[in-house]
Structures are given as C-alpha cells and as structure tokens.
Structure 1
Amino acid sequence: MTTETRSLPAVAPGAWETPFVIMGYDEVVTHDTVWDEHSHPFHERLRNERGTSSAVVGSRVWTITPALGLWMPAGTLHSGSAVAGTWFRASFFGFRTTSSISDAPVAVEITPLLRLLLDRLSDPELSAGSRAAIEVLVLDVLAPSPRELLVQVPTSALLRPIAEAVRKDPGDPRSLTDWASALGVSPRTITRAFTTETGTSFARWVAAVRSQHAVALLTRGWDVEAVAEQIGYRSASAFGAAFRRTTGLTPGTFRAR
C-alpha cells in the first residue's frame, strides 16, 4: 500500500496570529500517512472519530484512538502517522486565548460530554454567543487522562535488542528470564534498566507495545481472535481484558468504529 508523506514547518509558540479560541479540522486519510517532525504555534488536541494514529515526541510514542486523544502543547516538535481509513479530528487552541492543560504532551479522555461539545463547535451556524459559551465548557472539562497508550522506547545498548525485537514482533514469547539469559545479565539488571528508562516494568512495557500493535491491526479489519494470536495472547478473552484496560474500549467495539 502507498504511504503518503507530509511535511509541515516547525513554528514557535505564538509565532503566528491565532485569533480563534478553538478551531476544528478533520480529514479521512485514504492512504497510510506519515507527518514529518513539525510543531504548531497553537495548542492541539488530537482525536480519532474512526481508526488509529500515532504521535511521536523524542522516544515517546502515543497511540490515539476514538476513546483516547492527545494534547500537544504549542511549539512541541512531533511527528505522526495514521492508518489508511482513519478519520482524525483535531482541535486547535489559540496560544494567546487559552492556557495549556499541560506543558508536555498528555493523553486526554474523550468523554461523551467532550465529544458532544466539540461536535457542537463544528456547526457553521452557531452564534458567536453560543460558541463562546461552549468554548468555556470545553476548556473546563478538558483534562489529562489517567490512562494512555504510551510506549517509551528504551535506547540503551542493553535494552535496544529487546525493544527492537518486541516492536517488530509483539507476539515474541521470550520472558524476562529468557532475555536475561540471551543478553548475559541477570533479570534484576533488566528490570532496573526498564524502570529507569521507561518508568514501567518489562511486562507492562510489552503489554503497551502489544496494545498499540493491536489497535493498528483492528483498524485494518483483523478479527479479534486473529489479533490476539498475532500479538501473543493465549486467548481472545485475555487479550480483550488487557485491551480494555489500556484503551477504554473492548476490541470488538474498537473494530466496529
């Protein structure tokens, strides 16, 4: 399948005049699409109505779904990608008219109320007074989520072989003990390294990689059982429970969207 690459400029916060408070943009990408590294003069809130996309800042990779969006502060250098068929919806927040909910990229829960308010702002016949009132409500309910589909990719010489193998094949069955034996170190050494570099354990890091991969496969139309087998779960029910913990949706519900 053809991949489309898009280039955008790197712009400092507030460098361009942004007279809006909140402005929306949406698009259905017809090809797998990659955005080169860039930054915006305004804050950005990303979400998908359908499908999956990702945003990369340094060694951190977020997956964006219909239930989990992402807040990208103005001036943050990031790249991104989206699977063909993804319907993404961005909201731009004026740098001088709104404050950032976070100084760093952070996941945002797409609640039914937030979805309703943002959809209402897309009405071209909305009066100025109604728009101002809804924008206040959006800024009031917009908040970081306690959940996020984030993978911090380790880059040390010790963990790089593990990261490359698991990201290439999330179904890789090797355990912490297996990797320790292969690399000639103790399991405790790998455990400490994962905690230091990623802030999480080896097992949770693998689960996050698997969830990100599952989102992409479900978007491409794979059935739940095939995805579970592909990414290393022994049963569809075990995969479903893990997927719901990280995304807020069952695999079936996500696939339907």
Structure 2
Amino acid sequence: MHELLWNDAGPSTLRAGPRTWTVTPTIGLWLPAGTVHSAAARAGTVYRATYFSLEMAAESARPLPTEPVSLRVTGLLRELLLRLGDESLNEHSRRLTETMVLDVLAPAPHQFLVHEPTAGLLQPIVAAVLSDPSDARTLRDWSRQLKVSERTITRAFRAETGLGFARWVGSVRVQRATTLLADGEPLEDIAEAMGYRSPSAFGAAFRKLTGTTPSSLRN
C-alpha cells in the first residue's frame, strides 16, 4: 500500500534511511509502498495515515511519486481525506474520492527534509548542528577547526545531500522551525532558537528557503 501521512494537530517526523521529513497540519508526506521507515510524534500530536492500493494508484491519471515527497495539505485535500475516513461510504464513492485525492496531490514548495550525511569528515558538523541549529560557526570556522579547505567540506556536503554547507544548515533550521511553528511557539522564541537575530531575519531566511512564510505553516 502507498501511504499519505498528514496531521490534524501538531508535528511529527518520518525517517527513511539518512533522510528525515517533517509532517504538520499543512505539510503531508507521500510514502510509496515498500519504503522502510520509522516515525515519531510528540505527545498531543494527532496524526493520520490514508492508504492507497497499488492497483488504485496504477489507475491514476497522473504519475505518482516513486520516492517520499512532501505535499501541500490544502483545504480541498483535507476534506477529501476526511471523507475517506467515513466508513459509511459505498465502494463507488470511495473509489471516486480516492481518484480525486490522487488527482489533486501537489508537492510542497519545499521538501521539509534533512538529508543527514554519513561522511566521516562531516560528522563533527552534523552532530553540532543537529544538536543545536543555532550553532553560528561558519564554513570558514569549520574549515579551520577540521584543518581542511572550505572547498573540501562543500564537496563532501554536495556529494551526499546535493546542498552546500549553508543550505544544509538552513534545511536543518527550517525543519526544526516548522516543528516549533506547528506547536504554536512564538516567532521570537523560534528565531532565537534557530540562531537568528530577530523574527524578521528568521522570516526572510525561511521564505528564501521554502518560498512561504512561517505563519503559513502554523496549525
């Protein structure tokens, strides 16, 4: 079965291999059949999973993702998914609703995932940033500390994640911030926790990385 994960309240995370995605009331996740994964949610999170058979998906008029992908949970998509939870639906109505769900699926503007590199060289950086996203050390700082060139660090990040150092740090901050936003934390506190000098600086960085505003991801 393919799986579509979405939350009624609060944030959760899903990990598949070295990649971790965020799921919130406005960001869902399409999980293709056969994807080995683990998931975690804070107390109070209300999460849902909607399943689609391989046969049903094969009949979709649009090609469906073959890899996990973050999805926009629009008002229409939410209503359709809630309808699928109605046990009184007859088979015809259920199939029609499933078809509509698969037809309106749309990727989120940003994938809200963190790809954790495994290269030994990068482990001090990865451990520091995952432990404290506000860590202010720059690429130059890490170059000096690890006694390698900035280019070597950048190449190692790009080889595993497709991102440079700064962009990777930004992806960690976005994911953590998204979780805090879904929890309703004040913007001032989130900005400080992510290492930004002000909520406006945090908002500008968030928009640059995701194409949307922090407030649009609140529950």
TM-score by length of 2: 0.88
Give, in whole Å, the separation in 2 of the partners of 1:220 and 1:47. Answer: 15
Deviations 1:142-166 (A, max 9, x none): 2444421011101111111100000
The match for 2:141 is 178
The match for 1:150 is 113
Shift of 1:240: 2.2
More strand by share: 1
Q: Which amino acid aligns with 1:46?
A: L
Q: Which amino acid aligns with 2:39?
A: G
Shift of 1:184: 0.5
Give, in whole Å, the separation in 2 of the partners of 1:90 and 1:248. Answer: 26
Q: Which amino acid aligns with 1:192?
A: R
Task: Note if 1:78 corresponds to 2:37.
Answer: yes
SS at match of 2:56: coil
Q: Which amino acid aligns with 1:151?
A: V
- Provide structure 1 residue ranges, at least 5 long, that are not aligned to the other structure: 1-41
Give, in whole Å, the separation in 2 of the partners of 1:159 and 1:91. Answer: 37
Q: Check conservation: 1:68, 1:148, Cα contact below 8 A.
A: no
Q: Which amino acid aligns with 1:155?
A: T
Q: Which amino acid aligns with 1:215?
A: T
The match for 1:163 is 126
The match for 2:69 is 106
Of residues 201, 225, 228, the one that matches 2:164 is 201
Shift of 1:57: 0.9
Give, in whole Å, the separation in 1 of the partners of 2:125 and 2:94. Answer: 50
Task: Note if 1:237 corresponds to 2:196.
Answer: no
Shift of 1:95: 2.6
Task: Note if 1:59 corresponds to 2:18.
Answer: yes
SS at match of 1:178: helix
Of 220-229 and 238-247, the range deviating more from structure 2:
238-247
The match for 2:49 is 90
- Structure ranking higher on relative contact order (CA contacts 8 Å, 6+ apart): 2
Number of aligned positions between the proteins: 215
The match for 2:3 is 44
The match for 2:97 is 134
Give, in whole Å, the separation in 2 of the partners of 1:66 and 1:246. Answer: 20
Give, in whole Å, the separation in 2 of the partners of 1:215 and 1:142. Answer: 21
The match for 1:34 is none
- Provide structure 2 residue ranges, at least 5 long, that are not aligned to the other structure: none
Q: Structure 1 residues 245, 91: CA separation in 2 closer, same or farther (over 3 Å shift)? A: farther
Shift of 1:132: 2.4
Q: Check conservation: 1:83, 1:219, Cα contact below 8 A.
A: no
Q: Check conservation: 1:101, 1:144, Cα contact below 8 A.
A: no
Q: Which amino acid aligns with 1:112?
A: G
Of 109-118 and 57-66, the range deviating more from structure 2:
109-118
Q: Check conservation: 1:51, 1:66, Cα contact below 8 A.
A: yes
Shift of 1:167: 0.4
Q: Which amino acid aligns with 1:161?
A: P
Give, in whole Å, the separation in 1 of the partners of 2:102 and 2:175. Answer: 28
Q: Check conservation: 2:18, 2:115, Cα contact below 8 A.
A: yes
Query: What is the identity percentage for the equivalent residue pairs of Structure 1 and Structure 2?
Result: 53
SS at match of 1:66: coil
Q: Structure 1 residues 250, 86: CA separation in 2 closer, same or farther (over 3 Å shift)? A: farther
Q: Structure 1 residues 123, 242: CA separation in 2 closer, same or farther (over 3 Å shift)? A: farther
TM-score by length of 1: 0.76
Deviations 1:74-128 (A, max 9, x none): 1111111111111111111113332372222122222222122112222333343
